[in-house]
Amino acid sequence: MYFAVALGLYPNRGIIDAAFSVVADGMQRSVFASGRIPLDRTRTSIGPITIEIVEPMRVNRVVVDSPEHGLVADLTATARTPAYEEPRQTRHVGTQLTMDVTRATQLVTWTGTLSSGGQEIPLTAPTYGTKDRSWGIRGVGDPAPAAPRHVLPQIFFLWAPLNFTDVCLHYLRFEDALGVPWSETAAVLPVIGDKEPVFGEDTGIRTLGGVRHDVRWAPGLRRSEGATLLLAPGDTVELEPIRAFRMSGVGYLHPTWGHGKWHGELAVDGEAHRTEDLDTLAFDTVHVQQVMRATWGGRTGLGVLEQLVIGPYAPGGFTDLLGGASASAAAP
């Protein structure tokens, strides 16, 4: 089982939206909500989805009450690590600013209750996960009028928060079409107790330099069938896919429920798909988070490898907008 929740506030558009999605038993179910942004920006609730800040950077509660769409949840995320602020991610296409984002990421433990499709799903202890908070400019919502582009859209993005029993690891990388990184980071995050700091200079976070990746692309697709993070000579993390979650389930690249779109004063809807039907190269299914079993020396952990590859990417053998990996390019 895998679940995700997203909530966004778009002050320039006057919109708040949220989504909650679960992959279980071969199905991905989602509920979406959108409406007018509240005057009180601390009201992080829309329709059947509420995200409550119980204790800043330490405890969050997620409540979903949408039985008509097969989703009911009352979940609490408790920080396992300090919050790690990733390097600022700024990108232009020609003269147009397309991204200027800052994000803080934490590894967490989830507890609570969850029902999908009328079936209660137990959360075993510990249930590891991730929480992130980003703010800034992204290419979402209805675009402003602009001159047409002369090149294909291009993005290569990896994002890998990994939970181990005694420590956590976080990796991020953006690359251009030739594989040259334009934003990257890797960090070892300590597991903390209730009284230890969640932010500041004395959190014990240790950044790593020169980390590389080796993604083994699944033939015919734009997602991995496994990957390796090369931290240093002789020091690697092996990632083995367990299941895939399509990020469109929480609004990313969704043709209808994409982030920051106006649907009226309040709109709520849901959808359900068989996961095998989502294994395609459609624009709204190539953005994935794969749940990964992670092996780092003697450690075995759990995390995700988020992947978004659109447009040309020479190291993967991708030359067009959405073509899949060839069998030869996918071979190790």
- Helix boundaries (H) for 164-316: none
Please tell me which residue, 209 or 326, carries the higher pLDDT value. Answer: 209
SS3 at position 31: strand
Do 6 and 21 form a contact (C-beta atoms < 8 A)? Answer: no
Look up the pTM and report it: 0.96
Decide: helix, strand or coil at residue 249: helix
pLDDT tens-place string over residues 37-81: 999 999 999 999 999 999 999 999 999 999 999 999 999 999 999
> Could you report the per-residue pLDDT of 201-243, keeping only the tens digit for each?
899 999 999 999 999 999 999 999 999 999 999 999 999 999 9
Give 84's strand partners: 105
pLDDT tens for 71-96 read 999 999 999 999 999 999 999 988 88
Going from the C-alpha of 91 to that of each of 108, 143, 175, 211, 259, the distances in angstroms are 29, 16, 11, 22, 19
Cβ neighbourhood burial of 150 (10 Å; 0-12, 13-18, 19+): exposed
**What does R_g of the chain's alpha carbons equal in angstroms?**
19
**Which H or E element spans position 191?**
none
